[in-house]
Structure 1
Amino acid sequence: MSKRILHVVTNVAQYEDDDRPTGLWLGELTHAYDEFEKQNYIQDIVSPQGGVSPLEPKALGRFVADASVIKRKNDASFMKLLENTKKPSEINWQDYDVIYYTGGHGVMWDFLDNRELQEITKNIYENGGIVSSVCHGYCGLLNVRLSNGNYLIKDKKITGFAWCEEVLAGVAKKVPYNAEQISKERGAHYEKKLIPFAPNVVRDGNLITGQNPFSARITAEAVIEALNSK
């Protein structure tokens, strides 16, 4: 039976209290989607509210958007998926082997405290599924608690967009919190590459996380390896 992947994307189109546009960093979805598609996995896309997932303009820039991004952006059927994402209430967690949280700064506002997605994530994890994220996607993991009351990331090795990368991106004063610091406060063993924006993936059992936009493909590859080893 084919494996099933649940991608999580944002609904947030701009920074709170700021007109700076944001949204899904498209490559963080397409790079993983491509790899999972090669394995003939079934893939669905959910967002906190359902419906449209806006795109981060910076991710579509000339020197950022690669062949994967351009191909998907020009694929009307694929873009329709991002215009009609599922709501968490439409998701049966039992159907999925993996949940994969994508990034883009918008997720900092709508991933952190979404109880429905937290419940889906907890259930997938506690039933032997894989929980994964890339870049800011780990914001969706920061407040997930397991049935025993502990944070899912407690005592786990993880990575995600580093605070130094926020500073270098010029948005440290615009984001609502320091995700790296919160992960440490939750008891996670946060890891990052010495060189900012270098690809990096960290696996701790069934928890697989990528550091930045350039880590999506290797994160997906790590997920595939984990599924194949089951």
Structure 2
Amino acid sequence: MSKKSKKFRVLKWIGLTLITLILLIVGFGVWFMSLIPSSDKTIKNTTVNDLTYLTKNRILKDRGKILTVVTSIDSMGISGKSTGYELTELSRAYYVFEANGFEVDVASPKGGKAPVVIDDLGPFDYAFLKDEKAKSKINNTLKLTDIKADDYEAIYFVGGKGAMFDFPNNKSIHKIVKNMYENNKVVGAICHGPAALVNVTLNNGLPLIKGKTISSFTNKEELLLIADAKTIFPFLLQDKITAQGANFNEGEMYLNKVSVDKNLVTGQNPWSTWSIAENMIQQIGYKPKTRKITDEENAINVLLQYHKYGKSKAKEMITTMYNNNKPMNRVLFAEHSIVSVMKGEIGDFYNLLGLISFAKKVQENN
């Protein structure tokens, strides 16, 4: 066989191999997308009046006010990447507080309109964006220097990467948090929000968080998404919290985890928002109003079951949920399968694909 003929055969083999790989990848992509339900476009039209959690069995008692605090920073340090507060971490907590009889104020270090990050929206978030009262508050946030701690029953620090830059050294935050904590009022913070707590010193001279059980956005979560986070941020939040003597309470990546240490309530990431808000209500002294658990929360509970007990137990939970007409957000399963690939955990990737497929079949049979 001539060299020219051999070369042709090799090129033909390479070409056929590439075509086969492309077809396999495309086929996998089509199959993967078939597991994920089409987005419900009507959700975008949700208004406050559509939220029965807010409109039915309203708690009309005036239980006082809760202050929510968002960042004023719109870029991540030297990286120049845009940032702000996480809308979902504000909107969902905002409505939990309102539904439980509290008036909600929104403040920021600079006051005025605060920068926002908008993603992973659900019905409550879309309603919030159309809520004229809420829009007025986020477009005209109160300035922290004008805040009087005595006016509030609790304070809640919303996350968002901007919080890493203007929360830790803000003297007004230190003063308000110290006052409220030492007067047994509830202090809450979620995701990057606990950056507000790291430099607060109590009257006894000790750091507020020393010896306390704290949850926040973790090093693993931060570095998986931003490989150069150590150079972009003034510090990694988990490292700072641990260095000040706190007991860092870490949960599974990108899943709900909340820590309650008396009147200090902290959450790990955006998926902890519902839980942290309701835990704050409980620590203030009230039983949280009954709320229909969202499809996202149901998916989170299945993922937690999977990580704790394995695939079989997760499948049992999926079956039970669908049999009881509890909706489930399969998109979250898909997102976590991608996270597993980013972490190099291929076994989890295949297991999670299996759970998505199983959930689809169970749903179709119900």
Task: Calculate the TM-score normalised by the size of structure 1.
Answer: 0.93
Matched, 1:24 2:90: no
Give the C-alpha shift of residue 168 in structure 1.
1.9
In the alignment, residue 48 of structure 1 is paired with which amino acid? Answer: P
Match of 2:249 in 1: 191
Give the C-alpha shift of residue 17 in structure 1.
1.8
Match of 1:12 in 2: 73
Give the C-alpha shift of residue 19 in structure 1.
2.4
Match of 2:185 in 1: 129
Paired residue for 2:272, among 193, 205, 215?
215
CA distance in 2, matches of 1:227, 1:42: 14
Q: Which structure dedicates a bigger proportion of its chain to helix?
A: 2
Matched, 1:163 2:211: no
Match of 2:200 in 1: 144
Which protein shows a greater Rg? 2
Matched, 1:102 2:158: yes
3-state DSSP of counterpart to 2:112: coil
In the alignment, residue 278 of structure 2 is paired with which amino acid? Answer: E
CA deviations 1:65-109 (Å, max 9, x no partner) are: 111111112334322211111112221111111110000000000
Task: Calculate the TM-score normalised by the size of structure 2.
Answer: 0.59
CA distance in 2, matches of 1:141, 1:212: 16
**Maintained 8 Å contact 2:86/2:158:** yes
**Maintained 8 Å contact 2:155/2:187:** yes
Give the C-alpha shift of residue 14 in structure 1.
0.9
3-state DSSP of counterpart to 1:34: helix
In the alignment, residue 40 of structure 1 is paired with which amino acid? Answer: G
User: Could you list the runs of 4 or more consecutive aligned residues of structure 1 that deviate by over 4 angstroms after TM superposition?
Assistant: none
CA deviations 1:137-157 (Å, max 9, x no partner) are: 000000011111111101000
Question: Once superposed, what is the RMSD of the aligned Cα atoms?
Answer: 1.4
Q: 5+ unaligned residues in a row in structure 1: which ranges? A: none
CA distance in 2, matches of 1:139, 1:40: 28
Aligned residues with identical type, % of pairs = 36
Match of 2:209 in 1: 153
Q: 5+ unaligned residues in a row in structure 2: which ranges? A: 1-61, 288-366
CA distance in 1, matches of 2:286, 2:130: 35
**Maintained 8 Å contact 2:71/2:163:** yes
Matched, 1:52 2:108: no
Q: How many residue pairs get matched?
A: 224
In the alignment, residue 121 of structure 1 is paired with which amino acid? Answer: V
Match of 2:147 in 1: 91
Matched, 1:115 2:141: no
